[in-house]
Structure 1
């Protein structure tokens, strides 16, 4: 891992920025977060005066005053950018703006470590061949703009039934079995783990609320504040257990609902 890595974070959610900084320092104790910027205006002002004081940028896409791509239109930034966002529909634009990777929220340490390894590989190889770089970006673009699962084939009474993913109100896991619940309260077993479903389902429609639930945005009736900064999600059909979103995920969840 590159030593003394100087990083700039562009993120308007303070909790997300702190979490990212914590993960980066856990992965690389010598990493230095030299600046955290919260808006386009602030970023343009800072980069105008600090064009070489950093090695790498982690940037959200949607900021409080617009899309972060505007920063790169106003300032000539030559350092690589890793875009970290809750939205999967800006990949093409990201790769046009010095993007070397595209990480979807909510992220974890494994994903950040993977993208840092990619950065180190690019730096170590000092790739200059434009065809090689273009091929690599096209491969990343293919991944970032992947087609999400539209239906599930489930077993029921000796038959196989196709169920549209969009009609599944929530997924629930218990005793290592994952169940899909529909609006009419029908329930089916699906042969996926919740971890696999996180990558197969459209993140604009589905959210991993906690270790047991993935929920469909269209099934959410209301959200209530709970103890210790958590959120209580009211959803239909009503599950037997409460659906709680942790304090760490609460801001991401609210932003997801507000898309």
Structure 2
């Protein structure tokens, strides 16, 4: 087996040392090419060493910014495995692009799995000529979504007035007859001048979940989820919704991961 040259981008020295130890424990052929602790340092290193590494373990949030800033200023030609303390279900999207992630505190099994996935992808690339450049503009867009700011309030037109409503005080959003409504925790239903798709993009995915086409629900409004027909879940919220909130069988794993995050 060939030597695997790894770059670690991590601003916490103790975490970087632990990761380095786990990597060497998981694979005897690993060599740590560089330990980088900031966006600026990483940009300089990758610019000076475009081919002196095979794989990158990169923290998403660094002391001087977020890691997608590195991709904007330096070309990274090798696969990246992201490191994060945030169990964000949206990170699952990275795996669809051949990208992986591991959670802090590190788990030896997760490290081994990530390395095995890299080995498998490399074998596929060598056999079929697949492009090794797995970090794309789409990945940067996803990172931007994870680290951007979300709405703190909606300005709602109500009875000839404009009323600011804090997003955290909205139990759920609902659409009927092509009109979207926000239901506050105290039971007020107010029309919102956005589509459900626009609302979904503007609220924090850690706090809100798109249950189906009609509902976006706040985790703090959820009372319970009951098993329903055909592998679906029926979610009970407070204030009570005007109709049953069902989560499809396909979205149940996402919902469970979100609730456990």
- Name the TM-score, length of structure 2 as normaliser: 0.53
Q: Which moved more, 1:70-79 or 1:219-228?
A: 70-79
What value does the CA root-mean-square deviation take over the aligned residues?
Answer: 4.4
Task: Kindly indicate whether the alpha-carbon contact (under 8 Å) linking 2:183 and 2:189 is maintained by their aligned counterparts in 1.
Answer: yes
Task: Please report how far the alpha carbon of residue 91 of structure 1 lies from its aligned counterpart in structure 2 after TM superposition.
Answer: 2.8
- Unpaired runs of at least 5, structure 2: 5-17, 31-52, 71-78, 100-129
Match of 2:80 among 76, 86, 98: 98
Q: Which moved more, 1:138-147 or 1:153-162?
A: 138-147
Alignment CA distance shift 1:224-1:50 (3 Å):
farther
Q: Name the counterpart of 1:59.
A: none
1:199 aligns with 2:168: no
1:258 aligns with 2:260: yes
Alignment CA distance shift 1:255-1:142 (3 Å):
closer
Q: Name the counterpart of 1:78.
A: 54
Task: Kindly indicate whether the alpha-carbon contact (under 8 Å) linking 2:173 and 2:182 is maintained by their aligned counterparts in 1.
Answer: yes
Q: How many residues align?
A: 171
- Name the TM-score, length of structure 1 as normaliser: 0.53
Q: Distance in 2 between matches of 1:170 and 1:176?
A: 16
Q: Distance in 2 between matches of 1:106 and 1:141?
A: 9
Q: Name the counterpart of 1:180.
A: 182
Residue pairs, 1:107-256, within 5 angstroms: 142-256=144-258
SS of the aligned residue for 2:61 comes to helix
Task: Kindly indicate whether the alpha-carbon contact (under 8 Å) linking 1:232 and 1:244 is maintained by their aligned counterparts in 2.
Answer: yes
Task: Please report how far the alpha carbon of residue 219 of structure 1 lies from its aligned counterpart in structure 2 after TM superposition.
Answer: 0.3
Alignment CA distance shift 1:158-1:92 (3 Å):
same
Task: Please report how far the alpha carbon of residue 98 of structure 1 lies from its aligned counterpart in structure 2 after TM superposition.
Answer: 2.3
